[in-house]
Structure 1
Amino acid sequence: MTVHTPPPEGGRIIDEPMSEALSRRYLAYALSTITNRALPDVRDGFKPVHRRIMYAMHQMRLNPQAAARKCAKVVGEVMGGYHPHGDASIYDALVRLAQDFSQRYPLVDGQGNFGNIDGDNAAAMRYTECKLTPAAVLLMEGIDQDSVDFRATYDDQDEEPVVLPAGFPNLLANGSSGIAVGMATSIPPHNAGELIDACHLLLERPDATTEELAHIVPGPDFPTGGVAVEGHASILDAYETGRGGVRLRARWETEDLGRGVWRIVVTEMPYQVQKSKLIEALADLIENKKAPLLGDVRDESAEDIRLVLEPKSRTVEPEVLMESLFKLSDLEVRFPINMNVLDATGTPRVMGLKACLQAFLDHRREVLVRRAGWRIDRVEKRLHLLEGLRIVFLNLDEVIRIVREEEQPKAVLIARFGLSELQADFILDTRLRQLARIEEMTIENEYKALSDELATLQALSSSPAKQWKQVGKDLESVRKALVSPRRTTISEAVDTAAIASIEAFIPREAITVILSERGWIRAAKGKVDDPSELKFKEGDSLAFLVPAWTTDKLLLAASDGRIFTIGADKLASGRGHGEPVRLMIDLDEGAGIVNLLAHQPGGKLLVASKAGYGFVAPEDDLLAQKRGGKQVLNGEMLAAIRVSGDHVAAIGDNIKALIFPLADLPEMGRGKGVKLQSYKQGGLADVAVFSAEAGPEWVDGGGRRRNWPDWKDWLGKRAGAGRQGPRGLRKFR
């Protein structure tokens, strides 16, 4: 045993900047994650852990005809021999290979509890058993015939395949997903029969376009079925570039219960959506009144999916109900397409449909050539031995005499008949009874058959055209073994604009919207007579109390100049403290809430900034469709008040007031606006809109409202400095 003496202390210390050391080590980690964990190989569609599971099960002879073995035994073999990582990660990968709702073509035949579509976990590995499926055998076929390269395992005690022979395009057939460092992959499953048909087209016409391939492979084919509603153009673009996405909806049907009563039955779930979580989410929508058309949901599934959705009213159209639920829940999901894979050189690349199929075909051709070379070598060795036996039959009596009488029969046979040492050893090892006349015919037939096979193999090895033709034949036999009807229907997206809006079916009920100082919002039924009885979290208090209807849209003005839109029907019940309004809109932490009011169609708002600028904005233009709201005012917003009069009253931080006609302000959708009042120091303190007939009001320090009978003394031109206001005037509301 060699003992290595450590180098002197100075030789083990490397003096280098921390940034360089960290970047180099992180780069090594990133490359290891990309190549050895997260991204699949384009040739066989496997990540290393899946490939090692397949190979270990092959070595354990767990073929479809064999008895299943404990998964713990398989995990132990994989971890001990090939994959030096945790047993949990290996077992999770094995379980996924066995789930028919995760894999379009399961590669592991699992016996026991391997989880379900509800999201329940598989049983522990000591309770479950497994073996390979026929599809897995197709991926492994020829692996012992020098068809692929092997490399040393992590401990140099054994060898593992770099890639599997892959009898069908597993990458696209079963899909893949993973997150690496700085990149990710997401490949949906497809129908193997369609993929092989597309391969045949490429074999016939290598210059075939992606559009021609997309006519054969119209889109993904998920194991859980469903309806893809992305549209041909979008899917084609994803196949062309390798990036995109596909919208997938649950498959549903209407059950007529008679007398105008009906219900929806969902029979197929979107891919990777857990049924139990979906039911829980739908129940929450009903509880929080965020799905006004849905009355009840229940699960009647047995072995097949049967999710029953009952409408709140029989007057609702089934299509309208489902369109609303597609928008609100995971009954419709978007599966991202990012075909980021490792090519034959181990380089990460984003490939389109054609590139992936061509890489697979190139791999199959290489496997075919290597298997042919392996077979040629063995046929030639066998023919060499058979030639020796043919010589024996021609001189059988002499061979028997030499074996009986000579002291060195091997050397005499080699000298007498010109045999090789290998042939002589084979002859001496052959039993005498095998040299009967009947065996001579058998050997002649075998010699002729092997000679014909050798000629065929040599012709195949030297002709690329014959190689591609044989690849096509092999794929056709694989297609027959894997043929299965398409499960996912490819459909054009439904035109939701033609369907009545969901809001049209929301019950119109009076509510009072309550928004606290800390931003908690809720809706109480009816009118709140005594705001002092409202309860809030400790340290919180009332900020806004807005009467509204459940069918209203609420406009929330923020100090950063944005106005957000919130559906009144989506507010939490007034029984509790509500929920943070920031969960409903993307309101920045540093932004304050300026005002909250119910939208009035055709109404107008006066928006004003702290700097003293403002304008009139039509309310209809302020409605936002996104959580991010609409940027309306350039600058820090001080006020957003409804226009209900003909004059504007402004007061500055300097306590000077100015009143001017509302007509002096422009009407615009967004911008900075015009100057309301001029200041030498400070800015705008408050602004109000009033009718000249009624006159303005203001609030004194004690919170009492006061009239302003001589307000006309403060009339002036817009943008003027104004004059000192009445004693106590600080704000208008």
Structure 2
Amino acid sequence: MTEKTDAPKIEPTEHSEPLRRAIGERYLTYALSTIMHRALPDARDGLKPVHRRILYAMRELRLSPTGGFRKSAKISGDVMGNYHPHGDAAIYDAMARLAQDFNVRYPLVDGQGNFGNIDGDNPAASRYTEARLTAIAETLMEGLAENAVDFRPNYDGTLEEPVVMPAAFPNLLANGSSGIAVGMATNIPPHNLHELIDACQLMLNDPEASDDEIVRLVPGPDFPTGGVIVEPRETILETYRTGRGAFRLRARWAVEDLGRGAWQIVVTEIPYQVQKSKLIERLAELIQTKKVPILADVRDESAEDVRIVLEPRSRTVDPDMLMGMLFRNSDLEIRFNLNMNVLIDGRVPKVCSLKEVLRAFLDHRRDVLQRRSQHRIDKIDHRLEILEGFIITFLNLDRVIDIIRYDSEPKAALMAEVWGRKHKRATSEDDYVPPKPGKGELSEVQAEAILNMRLRSLRKLEEMELIAERDALRDERADLAALLADAGLQWARIGRDLAEVQKLFGKGTAMGKRRSDFADRTDAEEVPFEAMIEREPITVICSKMGWIRAMKGHVALETEVKFKDGDEGRFIFHAETTDKILLIGANGRFYTLIGANLPGGRGMGEPVRLMVDLPNDSEIVDLMIWRGGEKLLVASTAGDGFVVASEEVVAQTRAGKQVLTVREGVKTALCRRVSGDSVAVVGENRKLLVFPLIQLPEMAKGKGVRLQKYKDGGLSDAITFTLASGLSWKDPAGRTRLETDLAQWQGMRASTGAMAPRGFPRDNRFT
């Protein structure tokens, strides 16, 4: 048996605080971490922490632009292990993006292997690709070894990483940035480096330069994929002044002549961050759904460059009209939103104007220049101290040799010696005279440097070289001291440094040329729908079960047409491909079909419910051609109705447009074109009422007003006509009857009416 021991019970400690405060504090910590250390870039170097750590790790691996490549897995592993304690997949994705020339205007990573493409394909696995730094990335880190920026411990305290990069150029605007934080986001497009440096030079010469003057030098973004910016200059100026706005960007296209009047459109540049494969899919969908009927075909003939071929349906189509429709219905035109929300001094998030971002960069460059200059002065002072010791050594070479050769503690002896006295050279240890205790002229650093001198440095010419080096360093120190004491000299030096960067990566190089152009937005896209479709006659046929089709040409309406078993014809009329066809549902909704989009007449057609969202329990009340400028009479089976303008019933979506409001158990009874000055209504009780048309209100939608009063049943039919011409209908024998004396049926709207005249159709319908 095991003995029981009375172990002391440990009571759990409890800490009580309101749930709201506990959650609030923790969420605030998470939000600040996301804002400052993940999503928002620093205004000074334009980098997020992950990008900064990737570049620094590659620098530590000595992956210079002229050196060899290293496996991306090695790079992402070092970044993860030393600086960025997150997933290697996220690190590799961030590094791959820095190497994609279609995403980054000035790539910071030189990739070797499959790093993805403009079609949206992902990069190959990190074990298959290699990378190194680019030349422009090196300029971002120039000065890290010269105390240009602060360093901080890494996540485990074993190494140090830079808080910010020295950044020799405004990378935030040059390469842009995007990110979603907590409660805020940023989205900055890329710009042309040459133009940005011109704007910086303007601000160096005139710190009070206006936004208008800056935007003259930086007219807008410069996307790596090119394109044409069609935003008005006034809008761009306001966007840069406030830090918020949008730019409309279009694809670049040209008409290619195929001879004999034939032509095709070739798209050579697509908008920024639009995946080419999805763009092709969208264009193909427009062809399939006939949303842009004048587009016949799209082909992707891209190789190294983008080449998308668009074929028109007819050579008579206007190219501007075709592209205008594609701009409106596809990503051949996009709106790139600008939200210049950045971290100022790495701490405070703020939506900045273009001028404020450039000012933050220039202030950072001044701080870097001051720190590098002071670091250089400290190095010069240290070297001058050593040079002074070397010069003393050459002036007293024999004494120095004696001390080093015979003294048991040469370092202390060198520091204790008072130089400049005449000493007899010792020929042996007995002749050596130790220095007398006292304050010497050599410091510990100088003494250590003398003891570490090589014998080859004792050449006669070395003394002259030391003196020349000392004088040159003194002159350099004087220049640096003057630089630190004069703000004007500092700004001039920054301007020269920027000019050097501009020379290396500006518009004189292949990478620095502007890629995105500017153009005025044309009105070609505002095209009437009929102009997009080739006008051809068709015969629209719709069966009782809702199968619809369009036969080419105007076929005789008496022609026998085949239908599916158990189905029969209901609507047949002549139309044109440019016509809009109204489908009125029993649920009170109006749907719009396009004549050109109807299926062909070779088969049985297609169910109309596949084209519009007409519920299965709602039958088709009427099918008619839409005509602009007309008035329509709509009414429900309950006897309510009103007049509506034809422009109010056109639907833009599959869901249709609710025009007539019907309650449960009530359906749409009819839709008739309005003509004349009177309304004739007949109910299921065969009572006929005639009243003036002006008694019916014109509405856009709603239930309407009472047309006729019923004790039992509801409305059968209604029609508008001219009272002076009389009311006509067809009797059971098919003969047309005309009644001109309608006094006994005339009354006020919503009255009962009188029994229909003898010979009125048994189905209670006028037509």
**Per the shorter chain, which TM-score range?**
0.7 to 0.9
Which residue of 1 is the match for residue 500 of structure 2? 477
Q: Secondary structure at the match of 2:241?
A: helix
How far off is 1:393 after superposition?
2.2
Which residue of 2 is the match for residue 150 of structure 1? 151
Q: Partners of 1:25 and 1:192 in 2: how far apart?
A: 41
**Are the equivalent residues in 2 in contact too, given 1:690–1:696 (CA < 8 A)?**
no
Which residue of 1 is the match for residue 370 of structure 2? 369
- Seen in structure 2, the aligned counterparts of structure 1 residues 561 and 335 have a Cα distance that, compared at 3 Å, is farther
How far off is 1:198 after superposition?
0.6
Mark the structure with the bigger radius of gyration: 2
1:504-547: per-residue Cα shift (whole Å, max 9, x none)? 54343526487999xx99765569977973999xxxx9999997
Q: Does 1:606 align with 2:621?
A: no
Q: Secondary structure at the match of 2:146?
A: coil
Q: Does 1:510 align with 2:538?
A: yes
How far off is 1:130 after superposition?
0.5
Which residue of 1 is the match for residue 420 of structure 2? none
**Are the equivalent residues in 2 in contact too, given 1:651–1:684 (CA < 8 A)?**
no
1:568-588: per-residue Cα shift (whole Å, max 9, x none)? 4456788655776678xxx99
Which residue of 2 is the match for residue 325 of structure 1? 326
Identity %: 51
Q: CA RMSD in A?
A: 4.3
- Which of 573, 577, 580 is the aligned partner of 1:553? 580
| Aligned ranges 1:663-678 → 2 under 5 Å | 663-667=694-698, 670=700, 675-677=705-707
Which residue of 2 is the match for residue 355 of structure 1? 356
TM-score, normalization: structure 2? Answer: 0.81
Q: Does 1:310 align with 2:314?
A: no
**Are the equivalent residues in 1 in contact too, given 2:636–2:670 (CA < 8 A)?**
no
How far off is 1:79 after superposition?
1.4
- Which of 442, 451, 471 is the aligned partner of 1:428? 451
Q: Partners of 1:170 and 1:605 in 2: how far apart?
A: 62
Q: Partners of 1:76 and 1:623 in 2: how far apart?
A: 60
**Are the equivalent residues in 1 in contact too, given 2:268–2:306 (CA < 8 A)?**
yes
**Are the equivalent residues in 2 in contact too, given 1:603–1:642 (CA < 8 A)?**
no
- Seen in structure 2, the aligned counterparts of structure 1 residues 146 and 684 have a Cα distance that, compared at 3 Å, is farther
How far off is 1:131 after superposition?
0.3
How far off is 1:322 after superposition?
2.0
Q: Partners of 2:415 and 2:49 in 1: how far apart?
A: 51
Deviates more, 1:640-649 or 1:689-698: 689-698
Q: Does 1:491 align with 2:491?
A: no
**Are the equivalent residues in 1 in contact too, given 2:301–2:307 (CA < 8 A)?**
yes
**Are the equivalent residues in 2 in contact too, given 1:210–1:236 (CA < 8 A)?**
yes
Which residue of 2 is the match for residue 703 of structure 1? none
Q: Partners of 1:499 and 1:482 in 2: how far apart?
A: 43
- Seen in structure 2, the aligned counterparts of structure 1 residues 522 and 66 have a Cα distance that, compared at 3 Å, is farther
1:679-706: per-residue Cα shift (whole Å, max 9, x none)? 89999978733447455899xxxxxxxx
Q: Partners of 1:358 and 1:157 in 2: how far apart?
A: 35
- Seen in structure 2, the aligned counterparts of structure 1 residues 711 and 487 have a Cα distance that, compared at 3 Å, is same
- Seen in structure 2, the aligned counterparts of structure 1 residues 502 and 696 have a Cα distance that, compared at 3 Å, is closer
**Are the equivalent residues in 1 in contact too, given 2:544–2:570 (CA < 8 A)?**
yes
Counterpart residue type for residue 102 of structure 2:
F
- Seen in structure 2, the aligned counterparts of structure 1 residues 439 and 178 have a Cα distance that, compared at 3 Å, is same
Which residue of 2 is the match for residue 70 of structure 1? 71
Which residue of 2 is the match for residue 453 of structure 1? 476
Q: Secondary structure at the match of 2:335?
A: strand
Deviates more, 1:291-300 or 1:643-652: 643-652
Deviates more, 1:147-156 or 1:105-114: 147-156
Q: Partners of 2:241 and 2:570 in 1: how far apart?
A: 54
**Are the equivalent residues in 2 in contact too, given 1:652–1:685 (CA < 8 A)?**
yes
Which residue of 2 is the match for residue 237 of structure 1? 238
Which residue of 2 is the match for residue 225 of structure 1? 226
Counterpart residue type for residue 42 of structure 2:
D
**Are the equivalent residues in 2 in contact too, given 1:685–1:730 (CA < 8 A)?**
no
How far off is 1:194 after superposition?
0.4
How far off is 1:75 after superposition?
1.0
Which residue of 2 is the match for residue 11 of structure 1? 13
| Aligned ranges 1:495-644 → 2 under 5 Å | 495-496=523-524, 503-510=531-538, 512=540, 525=551, 533=564, 549-555=576-582, 567-569=594-596, 597-607=624-634, 615-620=642-647, 623=650, 641-644=671-674
Q: Partners of 1:46 and 1:250 in 2: how far apart?
A: 29
- Seen in structure 2, the aligned counterparts of structure 1 residues 513 and 132 have a Cα distance that, compared at 3 Å, is farther
Counterpart residue type for residue 158 of structure 1:
L
1:610-667: per-residue Cα shift (whole Å, max 9, x none)? 9987542332465577899889789989678233455446689999986522232244
Q: Partners of 1:558 and 1:21 in 2: how far apart?
A: 57
Which residue of 2 is the match for residue 413 of structure 1? 414
Q: Secondary structure at the match of 1:223?
A: coil
How far off is 1:274 after superposition?
2.2
How far off is 1:222 after superposition?
1.0
TM-score, normalization: structure 1? Answer: 0.84
How far off is 1:675 after superposition?
3.8
Q: Secondary structure at the match of 1:385?
A: helix
1:27-78: per-residue Cα shift (whole Å, max 9, x none)? 4333333222222222111122211111111111101011000111111111
1:134-188: per-residue Cα shift (whole Å, max 9, x none)? 0111111112222122222222222222221111111111112222233322211
- Seen in structure 2, the aligned counterparts of structure 1 residues 245 and 392 have a Cα distance that, compared at 3 Å, is same
Which residue of 2 is the match for residue 117 of structure 1? 118
Counterpart residue type for residue 671 of structure 2:
I
Counterpart residue type for residue 138 of structure 2:
V
**Are the equivalent residues in 2 in contact too, given 1:296–1:309 (CA < 8 A)?**
yes
Which residue of 1 is the match for residue 425 of structure 2? none
- Seen in structure 2, the aligned counterparts of structure 1 residues 720 and 387 have a Cα distance that, compared at 3 Å, is farther
The count of aligned residue pairs is 710
How far off is 1:600 after superposition?
1.1
- Seen in structure 2, the aligned counterparts of structure 1 residues 358 and 658 have a Cα distance that, compared at 3 Å, is farther
| Aligned ranges 1:132-151 → 2 under 5 Å | 132-151=133-152
**Are the equivalent residues in 2 in contact too, given 1:320–1:500 (CA < 8 A)?**
no
Deviates more, 1:638-647 or 1:391-400: 638-647
**Are the equivalent residues in 1 in contact too, given 2:252–2:267 (CA < 8 A)?**
yes
Q: Partners of 2:202 and 2:74 in 1: how far apart?
A: 43
Counterpart residue type for residue 126 of structure 2:
M
Which residue of 1 is the match for residue 719 of structure 2? 689
Q: Which ranges of structure 2 fall in alignment gaps of 5 or more residues?
A: 1-8, 418-439, 507-511, 732-736
**Are the equivalent residues in 2 in contact too, given 1:652–1:682 (CA < 8 A)?**
no
Q: Partners of 1:100 and 1:440 in 2: how far apart?
A: 54
Q: Partners of 2:88 and 2:730 in 1: how far apart?
A: 75
